[in-house]
């Protein structure tokens, strides 16, 4: 028995299929995201929790600076006390003395005071300057962390770029080997080559497929690490956009060293720390000076049931005074503390020399690695020309049956290996360029 389906039902089912297919396709494409290098760096900077912690430390340092400023403000206090007394036994008789006290009594006591430190040996001034310098050190920590985040993002981006480029070349290699397999099978049918030759080409293809599988596994690892770094969903398939590879002729080594010594935040931190030691020394010396403060106060005392009596039976004294104090024991008690600060400052000076040596070695190493990377790129360009010509010659000789299958496979493998090496070398040269910028204190300029 045939079942009749109404045309409208067919139309409705077709629409559902189309909608479902469209949703499925859009869902698949939604998992892929194309990123530029600039976008990667900006997203890494905005998502870095380490960077957020460093920025929070800046806010904390500024808050401490404001707290020290608050210490220069006057201090004041107001207090009030009310007491009520019930006299259960209010009759006192001692010899000829016969007292009858009230059964209940109330009293009010109030005090208000205001104090201001006029001179404290410039201690607050030095404390403000020290905390301000600490906030500047916190800001340099933010810059150092930003540089690390930028370089990490650059490294990951070029890792993904190298894998993507290698995958493209591997795919081209697979296509070329498939053509060789097809050609060798034709030659085998005509008795030009042996079955072993065909199997050798197929074995080469299997090796290339293993390489492709390894590359895909590495690509997934790098993609996942990048999504964590950038704060993106884990299931995103990230793709690199076209990259402007850095193959610029560098400045002289002396110019990069000069930039590093003027831009590196570690040296700036060292200079700030040395200034902090100076202010700590001055602050401790200020303890040896006298202190002057002034104050004003007013009190209120009344024994009665009303807070402000009408008959004026209360007292309200007002006081105004100045206090001069001098803890002269600091003249001999602070001697070792001052020596400790001087030792710390000496250590800071030594650390400056350590950083200077480290910066010189880092800049020189980064410079030499970049120059070597550029030379490698130039050499690989030449090797590709040679490998291309060798592959063409071996292809012609193989067609004419005057070379072995081993030589043909070797020529093909060398060509695609050279192509892969070139793309990796160009990407490595770009990473070396950004590393040179980093150790020179200039990597943050790529976000501008």
pLDDT score of 8: 38
CB 441 within 8 A of CB 145: no
Residue with structure tokens 């697979």? 174
Helix-, strand-, coil-residue percentages of the chain, each rounded to 5: 65, 15, 20
| Residues composing the chain | 448
pLDDT of 229 above 90: yes
User: 291 pairs with which residues across the strands?
Assistant: 325
pLDDT of 146 above 90: yes
Tell me what the mean pLDDT of segment 133-161 comes to: 94
36-50, 55-69, 394-408, range with the lowest pLDDT: 394-408
Tell me what the mean pLDDT of segment 348-371 comes to: 96
CATH class of domain segment(s) 34-73+131-290+334-447: mainly alpha
Total H helices, total E strands in the chain: 10, 8
pLDDT score of 373: 93
21 pLDDT tier (thresholds 50, 70, 90):
very low
| Residue 114 neighbours by CB distance under 10 Å | 15
Q: What is the share, in percent, of the chain residues with pLDDT greater than 70? A: 92
pLDDT of 259 above 90: yes
Q: What is the share, in percent, of the chain residues with pLDDT greater than 90? A: 54
Q: Tell me the pLDDT tens digit for each residue of 260-310.
A: 999 999 999 999 999 999 999 999 999 888 989 999 999 888 777 676 776
Tell me what the mean pLDDT of segment 33-57 comes to: 93
CA distance 434 to 40: 14
CA distance 180 to 412: 10
pLDDT score of 312: 65
pTM: 0.81
- Classify residue 231 as left (phi > 0), alpha (psi -120 to 50) or beta: left
Tell me what the mean pLDDT of segment 23-39 comes to: 68
Of 25 and 279, the structure prediction assigns the larger pLDDT to 279
Q: Which DSSP state fits 287?
A: T
pLDDT of 396 above 80: yes
Residues whose CB falls within 8 Å of the CB of residue 132, separated by 6 or more in sequence, listed in order: 65
- Average pLDDT in the chain: 86
Tell me what the mean pLDDT of segment 404-413 comes to: 86
pLDDT score of 100: 75
3-state secondary structure of 403: coil
Q: What kind and span of H or E run contains 1?
A: none
pLDDT of 133 above 50: yes
- The CATH code belonging to domain 81-87+97-119+292-325 is 2.20.200
CB 160 within 8 A of CB 240: yes
pLDDT score of 59: 93
Of 9 and 340, the structure prediction assigns the larger pLDDT to 340
Of 25 and 87, the structure prediction assigns the larger pLDDT to 87
pLDDT of 244 above 90: no
Question: What residue segments make up the domains of the chain, in order of their start?
Answer: 34-73+131-290+334-447, 81-87+97-119+292-325
């Amino acid at each position: 028995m045939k079942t009749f389906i109404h045309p409208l039902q067919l139309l409705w089912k077709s629409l559902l299929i189309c909608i479902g297919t469209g949703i499925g396709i859009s869902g698949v494409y939604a998992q892929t995201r194309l990123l530029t290098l600039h976008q990667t760096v900006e997203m890494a900077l905005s998502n870095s929790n380490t960077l957020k912690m460093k920025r929070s430390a800046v806010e904390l340092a500024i808050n401490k600076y404001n707290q020290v400023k608050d210490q220069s403000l006057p201090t004041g206090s107001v207090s009030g006390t009310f007491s009520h007394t019930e006299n259960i036994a209010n009759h006192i008789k001692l010899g000829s003395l016969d007292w009858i006290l009230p059964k209940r009594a109330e009293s009010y006591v109030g005090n208000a005071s205001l104090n201001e430190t006029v001179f404290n040996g410039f201690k607050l001034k030095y404390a403000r300057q020290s905390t301000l310098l600490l906030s500047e050190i916190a800001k340099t920590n933010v810059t150092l962390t930003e540089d690390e985040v930028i370089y990490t993002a650059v490294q990951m981006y070029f890792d993904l770029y190298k894998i993507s480029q290698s995958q493209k070349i591997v795919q081209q290699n697979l296509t070329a080997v498939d053509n060789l397999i097809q050609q060798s099978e034709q030659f085998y049918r005509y008795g030009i080559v042996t079955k072993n030759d065909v199997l050798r080409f197929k074995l080469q293809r299997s090796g290339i497929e293993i390489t492709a599988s390894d590359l895909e596994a590495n690509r997934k690892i790098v993609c996942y690490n990048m999504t964590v770094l950038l704060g993106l969903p884990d299931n995103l398939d990230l793709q690199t956009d076209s990259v402007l590879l850095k193959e610029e002729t560098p400045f002289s080594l002396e110019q990069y060293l000069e930039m590093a010594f003027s831009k590196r935040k570690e040296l700036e931190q060292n200079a700030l720390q040395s200034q902090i030691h100076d202010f700590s020394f001055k602050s401790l010396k200020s303890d040896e000076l006298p202190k002057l403060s002034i104050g004003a106060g007013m009190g209120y005392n009344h024994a009665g049931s009303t807070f402000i009596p009408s008959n004026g039976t209360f007292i309200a004294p007002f006081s105004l005074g100045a206090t001069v104090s001098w803890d002269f024991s600091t003249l001999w008690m602070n001697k070792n503390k001052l020596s400790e600060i001087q030792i710390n400052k000496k250590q800071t000076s030594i650390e400056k020399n350590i950083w200077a040596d480290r910066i010189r070695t880092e800049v020189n190493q980064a410079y030499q690695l970049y120059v070597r990377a550029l030379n490698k790129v130039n050499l690989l360009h030449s090797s590709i020309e040679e490998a291309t010509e060798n592959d063409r010659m071996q292809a012609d000789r193989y067609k004419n049956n005057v070379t072995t299958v081993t030589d043909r496979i070797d020529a093909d493998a060398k060509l695609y290996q050279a192509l892969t090496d070139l793309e990796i070398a160009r990407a490595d040269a770009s990473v070396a360029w950004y590393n040179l910028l980093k150790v020179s204190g200039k990597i943050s300029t790529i976000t501008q």
